Structure 1
Amino acid sequence: MKRPQENIVNFTSIIDCVAALDVDSHVKLILYSLGRATISGEAFVTHLENLIQHFPDAPIVLITDCEDAAEILKSLDWGVRGYIPTSSSLKVALEALSLVEVGGTFIPASSLVSSRKSIMGTAENKSCQVDGMFTARQAAVVDALRQGKANKIIAYELDMRESTVKVHVRTIMKKLKARNRTEVAYITNNYANLS
């Protein structure tokens, strides 16, 4: 695939990137190479927040050696729009970047398929314990999470403060032993399908 002539700028650190480019720079996309590092580290979250703060309109794509589905889902929760494993071909990587540039999101299906068994097993074990676990308000928040609604929307629709929604979400995650909102939706959707 041929790409139009573009200015591609390489930086060895987030600090260098933010220092060199100002907020008015027309950054179309940020490709963040993690190598063998994982997104679970505190440094990654700090770097990601820094990039989002300085370049709010530029989608962020990770390129990493890790193909773990949980890492992929976490990255999406943090606002990453593309997740390209280093095992991907150059053609797939370029197509993924093109998809993200036009507003799409890319995750490698192969990583999710290979991790499906562990995800499904965990969700099935947890889903059996969901019945009777939540108060009426928590159940309403769970239903909204299953629909992919943001905290602000949930707060508006359920006539509560956004901070209260956050407390409910944390409590729900703790009760389900879920690591993120996506996992809460997955576990509770799976439970609804079994009922």
Structure 2
Amino acid sequence: MKYMDYKIIRKKHQTWGIIMDLIHVPVNTNALSEGRDVREDAKENSLLLKSANENKFSKYSIDDYLVIMDKRALDRECLAQALTTHHIGLKVKTCGSLQEWQASDKHVPGLRAVLINTGNRNLDDDELSTEICELVAAFHNIAVVVVADHDDLTSVLRALELGVQGYIPTTVGVEICMQAIELAIAGGKFVPASSVLALRKLVGGRSDEFRHITTSFTARQSAVAEGLRRGKANKIIAYELNLCESTVKVHIRNIMKKLGATNRTEVAYKISDMIPRESRL
């Protein structure tokens, strides 16, 4: 069917005599010539758009679904309704906990993702950490994603350490939430942008710290420190720098004092930890 033009349906208000543009409807010129109702043509067009929207999620089968786990019934039902209303493309089931899920008859083939809504609970809490670990273990081939009120870097990193495939803060909208779920199902990991920026500042801060400390090193101390970072023995460092081994030891003691280190291994670790990875040769 080929749509050639748009017809403006106008209706004259009976009381005020105002001409009102009610709607712009795509019109099939063939339909007009055949005497077909324009409204039927518009209805067909609407069905075509609906079909195209459904095809967007053709990567999921009709039996695929996700599970929302949250002890708070209202919260989990609201999230489920939001995802369904926005056409996530998956069936959405809910339960209060892993134990409740295992005891129910809902766990059938087709599970693609598990969302655990932790609310404002702290991931440092042993009970919550254990709960997430059990989920990851129980659904080892399924994407487990945390939904939480916090978006701080510590919480995000802790969640990733526990093995989840994503961390969705409740500050994001439903569309972003759906994209995060889709990414997790595809094998990726989603983290909030605020956490990435916080990590960047942290790395930048360490680089500044390194520059501040190393500016207090003499040229010889910097060369010795680089040798320690590369794991070289005192004898090798002395040979390469044309120094006595005893002089190298003196430099190492001074470096340890400035870094607050207790041994050469700690010196090497601290220097490596403060140098940006891309700067290492």
Instruction: Give your verdict on TM over 0.5.
Output: yes
Q: 1:10 aligns with which of 89, 94, 97?
A: 94
Asked if structure 1 preserves the Cα contact closer than 8 Å seen for 2:183 and 2:190, the reply is yes
Q: Tell me what 2:177 maps to.
A: 93
- The one-letter code sitting in structure 2 at the alignment partner of 1:4 is G
Match of 1:45 among 124, 129, 138: 129
Using the TM superposition, give the Cα deviation of residue 5 of structure 1 relative to its aligned residue in structure 2, in angstroms.
4.7
Q: Counterpart of 2:59?
A: none
2:198 is the alignment partner of 1:103: no
* Higher strand proportion: 2
Say whether 1:78 aligns with 2:153: no
Root-mean-square deviation (CA, aligned residues, Å) is 3.5
Higher RCO (C-alpha 8 Å, min separation 6): 1
CA distance in 1, matches of 2:105, 2:137: 13
Q: Which residue of 2 aligns with 1:29?
A: 113
Alignment CA distance shift 1:188-1:80 (3 Å): farther
Q: Tell me if the contact between 1:30 and 1:59 (Cα under 8 Å) persists in the aligned partners.
A: yes
Task: Report the Cα distance in structure 2 between the residues aligned to 1:190 and 1:85, rounded to whole angstroms.
Answer: 29
CA contact (8 A) 1:60 1:81 kept: yes
Counterpart mapping for 1:1-195 below 5 A: 2-6=87-91, 8-20=92-104, 25-114=109-198, 116-122=200-206, 125=209, 132=228, 187=273, 190=276, 193=279
**Structure 1 residues without counterparts, runs of 5 or longer:** 137-170, 177-183
Give the structure 1 partner of residue 260 of structure 2. none
1:23·1:54 contact (CA, 8 Å) conserved in 2?
Answer: no
Over 3 Å counting, the alpha-carbon distance change for 1:117 and 1:42 in structure 2 is same
Task: Give the letter for the 1:16 counterpart.
Answer: E
Aligned to 1:144: none
Deviation at 1:21, TM superposition (A): 6.1
Task: Give 3-state SS (helix, strand or coil) of 2:95's partner.
Answer: coil
> Structure 1, residues 130-161: CA drift from partner, whole Å, max 9, x if none?
9647978xxxxxxxxxxxxxxxxxxxxxxxxx
Measure how far apart 1:36 and its partner are. 0.7
Q: Distance in 1 between matches of 2:105 and 2:129?
A: 20
Listed as ranges, the gaps of 5+ residues in structure 2 are 1-85, 215-224, 233-264
Aligned AA for 1:111?
S
Q: TM-score, normalised by structure 1?
A: 0.60
- Superposed CA deviations along residues 63-93 of structure 1, whole A, max 9, x for unmatched, are 1111111221222222111111100011111
Residues 21 and 122 (structure 1 numbering): CA distance in 2 closer, same or farther, change over 3 Å?
farther
1:22, CA displacement in angstroms? 8.4
Secondary structure, aligned partner of 2:176: helix
How much has 1:189 moved relative to structure 2?
Answer: 6.0
Between the aligned partners of 2:274 and 2:104, the Cα distance in structure 1 is: 45
Give distance in 1, aligned partners of 2:111 and 2:210: 42
